[in-house]
Amino acid sequence: MPEVAMSRTIRISRQGPIKGSVNVPGDKSISHRVAMLASVAQGTSRVEGFASSADCWATVGCVRELGIPVERDGEALLIHGRGLKGYDPPSGKAVLDAGNSGSTIRMISGLLAAQGFTSIIDGDESLRRRPMGRIIEPLSAMGGHIRARDGRFAPLEIQGRPLKAIDFSSPVASAQVKTCALFAGLYADGTTTFVEPSPSRNHTELMLGEFGARLKSSHAGGKPILSVEGGAELRPVYYRVPGDFSSAAFFIAAATLLPGSELVVRRVSLNPSRTAFIEVLNGLGGNITRENAETVHGEAVGDLRIRSGRLNSGPDGALLSGGIIANLIDEVPILAVLGTQVEGRFEIRGARELRVKESDRITTVVRAIRAMRGEIEEFEDGFAVEGPQRLRGAAIETSGDHRIAMAFSVAGLLAEGSTDIIDADCASVSFPEFYDLLASLTGESAIEA
Ligand code: S3P
């Protein structure tokens, strides 16, 4: 019998100010990329601050299954890459397990498409519902051979083939798709060019440079254009991963909303392609300042000081849509919670992508706000709230989605009565330490397992 993991329900109650400082775990996006690129570099990379997230450990599990040794050295990870084609075929009929991680399956597929063997990669129920056509299309254009369930869902069977360079214009602003194509481009004969409809997070571009890949980036009509030359071996790196801004966002929100709070988040990624959330909050009257800013491996890093603030969207309300959405896509669930506390209207549109995340995040957010007896208007591509609203404690169905669990834990700190986060442990997909850190700031009284 397989072991059935029991996930806790966590009860959260209303809270006064939070004060102090926190370190959030290593950035998930950066950790995936560094593990994958180090696994195909020539030699040993040392990675400090690697994410504790279950998703990133799914990536480590896959590269280990492909014969790449990954070991711990104190707090660091050592990844012993064996070059671009250094993977071994998975043993026997082993299926690579991406778990809940869209980043793992989509990005590593770019590397697997060019190996000299066939691999099968799969994931959990949620991952099996997520669209894979968006990576199958560019990989097939490169001569890759991928079979998918119903042509577009995991499991994927990837037959390694020699790849040819292509010029590809992506219909979606997705960093996972861009990364998949650029990773495959490392193997192609010639220069692969990828055009995005609007900018998505740029960690891959920055990191490919660190590994010595030949990459060029430019823009045409507001669209980013990335070109990578195939065939060059990658060098190993010594890499320090900063804290994850998307994990910090929950604490930024809590400190903004709980009057009298003052919190410092230390050494967090401040990559401008990820931090529009700060500008949105400050534009509404939030009080978030950057301190000790530096650039490490081309990535902006620093501390954030957050003081509580009264949020107001002004007489015309606030509407977020267009290019900004990709920059704050993972922050939308917590923005919905924040939105209920903004004086005036707060609306997010053009965010249809949320429907194909770990859960349908428009539906899960709308249900959870309504469960707390808040009012929210649902659109196909977003939602609108009018605040400030009084939220009441409720049982929150997370649909196994880590960002829903954490966003509504923050809502529970504001709500009257107590809030039960069902299946709360799904938070460990990105942030296993979340409830402990929250308890350390709020006092155990606010959180009960
Ligand atoms: C990610 C890109 C985003 C984001 C995800 C991580 C990445 O997904 O939502 O959490 O690391 O590239 P999409 O590429 O699907 O937009």
Tell me how crowded residue 175 is: count the other CB atoms within 10 A of its CB.
24
Tokens of 329: 């896509």
Residue among 109, 174, 182, 204 to mutate when testing ligand 1 (max atoms within 8 A of CB): 174
Is 329 touching ligand 1 by the criterion CB < 6 Å?
yes
Atom of ligand 1 nearest to the CA of 179: 12
Of 385, 296, 375, 289, nearest to 342 (Cα)? 385
- Per residue, the 3-state secondary structure of 138-157, as one string, reads HHHHCCCEEEEECCCEEEEE
DSSP 225-269: EEEEESSPPBPP-EEEPPBPHHHHHHHHHHHHHSTT-EEEEEEEE
Is 106 touching ligand 1 by the criterion CB < 6 Å?
no
Q: Distance, CA 98 to ligand 1 centroid (Å)?
A: 15
In DSSP terms, 266 is beta-bridged to 23
Instruction: Return per-residue pLDDT of the chain as tens, 449 residues.
Output: 334 456 899 999 999 999 999 999 999 999 999 999 999 999 999 999 999 999 999 999 999 999 999 999 999 999 999 999 999 999 877 899 999 999 999 999 999 999 999 999 999 999 999 999 999 999 999 999 999 999 999 999 999 999 999 999 999 999 999 999 999 999 999 999 999 999 999 999 999 999 999 999 999 988 999 999 999 999 999 999 999 999 999 999 999 999 999 999 999 999 999 999 999 999 999 999 999 999 999 999 999 999 999 999 999 999 999 999 999 999 999 999 999 999 999 999 999 999 999 999 999 999 999 999 999 999 999 999 999 999 999 999 999 999 999 999 999 999 999 999 999 999 999 999 999 999 999 876 677 77
Q: Whose CA is nearest to atom 16 of ligand 1?
A: 174
Is 175 touching ligand 1 by the criterion CB < 6 Å?
yes
Determine the Cα–Cα distance for residues 407 and 247; give it in Å rounded to an integer. 10
Q: Distance, CA 319 to ligand 1 centroid (Å)?
A: 22
Query: In this structure, are residues 256 and 306 in contact, taking their beta carbons and an 8 Å threshold?
Result: yes
Q: Distance, CA 20 to ligand 1 centroid (Å)?
A: 30
- Note the pTM of the prediction, 2 decimals: 0.97
Counting Cα atoms < 13 Å in the Cβ hemisphere of 103 gives 25
Is 176 touching ligand 1 by the criterion CB < 6 Å?
yes
Tokens of 201: 């997070």
Query: In this structure, are residues 373 and 416 in contact, taking their beta carbons and an 8 Å threshold?
Result: no
Strands annotated E in 374-443: 377-379, 382-387, 395-397, 418-422
Is 308 touching ligand 1 by the criterion CB < 6 Å?
no
Q: What are phi and psi of 405, to 5 degrees?
A: -60, -45
Query: In this structure, are residues 26 and 47 in contact, taking their beta carbons and an 8 Å threshold?
Result: no
pLDDT tens track for 129-160:
999 999 999 999 999 999 999 999 999 999 99
Residue among 329, 334, 406 to mutate when testing ligand 1 (max atoms within 8 A of CB): 329
Residue among 103, 126, 170 to mutate when testing ligand 1 (max atoms within 8 A of CB): 103
Is 330 touching ligand 1 by the criterion CB < 6 Å?
yes
Tell me how crowded residue 284 is: count the other CB atoms within 10 A of its CB.
22
Q: Computed over its alpha carbons, how large is the radius of gyration of the chain?
A: 21
Counting Cα atoms < 13 Å in the Cβ hemisphere of 316 gives 3
Active site residues: 330
* Cα 120 to Cα 70, 125, 140, 141, distances in angstroms: 21, 16, 16, 20
Sign of CA dihedral 426, 429, 430, 433: positive
Is 29 touching ligand 1 by the criterion CB < 6 Å?
yes
